[in-house]
Amino acid sequence: MMKAWWCLTVVLAAGPQEAPSAPPPSPGEELSGGATTVFDTTLNAFGRALGNMEPARWKTLYEGKQLFVRDWSAPPHALAAPLTNAQACNSCHFKDGRDRPYDALGPEAPLLIRLSVPTKDAPGGVPEPVYGGQFNDRGTPGVPAEGTVQVKYVPVKGRYADATAYTLRRPQYQFSPLGYGPFAPRTWWSPRIPATVFGLGLLEAIPEAELLARADPDDTDGDGISGRPNRVPHVRTGQTVLGRFGWKASQPSLEQQIAKAYAEDLGLTSALYPEPTCTPKQEACRAMTRAQEPALSAEMLEKTTMYIRLLAVPARRDWSSPTVRRGQELFQRTGCAACHHPEYRTGEVADVPELSGQTIRPYTDLLLHDMGKELADGRPDAEATGSEWRTPPLWGLGLLETVNHQLRLLHDGRARGFEEAILWHGGEAESSRERFKRLERADREALVAFLRSL
């Protein structure tokens, strides 16, 4: 098919050596979310309501926010399972962003570890039999946590074409201690950091046909880019549909993404995920959850989902400066825009018309791309392979340090800045990475300045 032109998280891709230069500044280019965009550069920049939101929705927004920040482990809301990863949604999505500040958590913010084992009947694997689908590092009295994840980094040194040296860091993980014995043989595991949650209502509103038009699984045009959709189960309908959300596009809708996070991170069962996260071999955990009804009501899930849908994208900054414009041109020339597609127009959203018909600039295609062995986790997820990742949106990147007081990029947070994130890219992105490495220092800085403007 022909391509149209979207926890760095950046996925750069190869493309033509020469791409069209960025157009001159035009009115509206700073509006990342169209009319929904908000102008806020403070630590609250990710938590604002849609700029065009109807005033009648303020009550709904407030009620959803209260659920998002609620401590589910404390009375009178102590509904969370004995084994969890957090006590509240905003424990991981601090200020609706990514992680809490370093000074609040120590040298490394928490990681989620997804677990599965291979089976003949499910190519994507099934949950690990003792520890389930996610490693829970928090336990209540009488129920030991599943263990602790320790991360160490090995330096990886390299040089740009102009001989400027750089040092990356390759993570190494150790599970110690393991509270319920060893993992099953051949266990797949994948580290993930939390992602930002603003602008997701707009991503859900992109017509499916627009995303599929970008797919080229067989690389029929020979440009080295083989983006493809992940096809995943829809819990309510039982159908296999397009995935959009999560590091591997493993969830098809915001409702399902949020319900899954409630279940795995907080241990809150719901109509979509009614089974407790305790496994049969965790007897104390199952004994404490056996008599529970679904802890998350349909109304709670609906309000939380609506809250996320109503979170706005902040506007770009310095978007018309000559350095940023030069960086935008280089973003095109190095091939980054082949995966980080700049612009879409949302379709009709009947229940939230504020999201309808918006020209948005998220810089993603929401498709899967093979990013090479260095970023591979080796763990399939639905139709995604162990080396494929969904192209994440880039909007809001320049405000991460302001909101979250740290900058951890890529799916596992190994990159400490934009350049490091680019330099880790391989696979389909290798050509783009090498073009970036050949740029002069001023041009590399210009490209980073463009990313900071988003």
pLDDT at 81: 80
Q: Give the domain ranges of the chain.
A: 34-101+197-453
- The rounded radius of gyration (Å) of the Cα atoms in the chain is 21
pLDDT at 407: 87
pLDDT at 10: 32
Instruction: Output the pTM of the full model.
Output: 0.91
pLDDT at 68: 97
- What are the mean pLDDT values of the chain's consecutive 10-residue runs (454 residues total)? 34 36 70 98 97 96 96 78 89 85 50 91 88 92 89 95 97 91 94 95 98 93 92 95 97 98 92 87 79 82 98 96 96 96 97 98 98 96 96 97 90 94 97 97 98 97
